[in-house]
Amino acid sequence: MDRRLKLGSGIALGSAVLLAVALIVILTGLGRGGGLPHQGNLTDIIASGSATPAPGVAQQGGPPPPAPTRFLIPGLYIDAPVIPEGKDADNYPQVPDRPDQVAWYPFTSSPGQSSNAVFSGHVDWQTPRGDPIAGVFYRLREMKIGDIIQVALDNGTKLQYRVTGNVATPYDDPNIVKVFDPTNRDVITIITCGGTWVRDPSQEFGGNYSHRIIVRAERVQGLASDQPAGQPGG
């Protein structure tokens, strides 16, 4: 995943590790567009809940809403810490400095606040020795409509979300930025890289993944785990 979600892959640390990046692309089946998801389409994801946007996380008065602390996808065996990230000097969303963390963007919304909370993470990574390893969202492309995602908050609540779309779109698609837009319902959006690693020495990291994988999931309320710790489930 690139530190600049729209422009490049942060997992490449320079031209010296491009060979290792190419190796993991071949071994994992990401190369040549293999394994790209087609659960829905980007237009529907952008349109879902977009009418009459609800206020985002920045609200007047009152305490801030609970922040996410862990991101869980039981079907993919993912249980990862969540860290808040902002934007870099060029106004692009940043991603973690580690492959096992999930970034949350407080400038979107908090989960549970009737709007769109956006997350991102790496699809793969380079160790200090230059060895390629899987990132937290390496298997994100496998998600199907109806799969469950859980987000744990710092007040002990664990929210449940059901996948409504999982799509791949070219990295330079201008509509990608719209997945950050607020919505009028409680949804989460997850972004990672996918497709083929395309070498391009003119780019900051020596190349770029050809696609971005985008998952949208909508809140499912009333489940037993959708309660603060110590309270009975519904």
pTM of the model: 0.78
Please give the Cα distance from 226 to 208 (Å, whole number): 38
- pLDDT tens for 76-110 read 999 999 999 999 888 889 989 899 999 999 999 99
Asked if residue 25 belongs to a domain, the reply is yes
Asked if residue 71 belongs to a domain, the reply is yes
Asked if residue 178 belongs to a domain, the reply is yes
Task: Look at 31 and 196; give whichever has higher pLDDT.
Answer: 196
Asked if residue 5 belongs to a domain, the reply is no
Please give the Cα distance from 128 to 115 (Å, whole number): 38
Mapping DSSP to helix (H, G, I), strand (E, B) and coil, where does residue 205 land? coil
CATH number of the CATH domain containing 199: 2.40.260.10
Q: Is the pLDDT of residue 163 over 60?
A: yes
* Domain limits for position 151: 15-56+65-220
Asked if residue 26 belongs to a domain, the reply is yes
- pLDDT tens for 177-221 read 999 999 999 999 999 999 988 888 887 667 789 999 999 999 998
Q: Which residues contact 185 (CB under 8 A, 6 or more apart)?
A: 48, 49, 54, 114, 115, 218, 219
Q: How many domains does the structure of the chain reveal?
A: 1
Asked if residue 9 belongs to a domain, the reply is no
Task: Look at 34 and 12; give whichever has higher pLDDT.
Answer: 34
Q: Is the pLDDT of residue 27 over 80?
A: no
Locate the DSSP E strands across the chain: 38-39, 68-73, 78-84, 102-104, 116-120, 124-126, 132-134, 148-153, 158-170, 187-199, 207-220
Taking alpha carbons only, the member of 1, 30, 222 closest to residue 123 is: 1
Task: Look at 159 and 12; give whichever has higher pLDDT.
Answer: 159
Asked if residue 34 belongs to a domain, the reply is yes
Asked if residue 202 belongs to a domain, the reply is yes
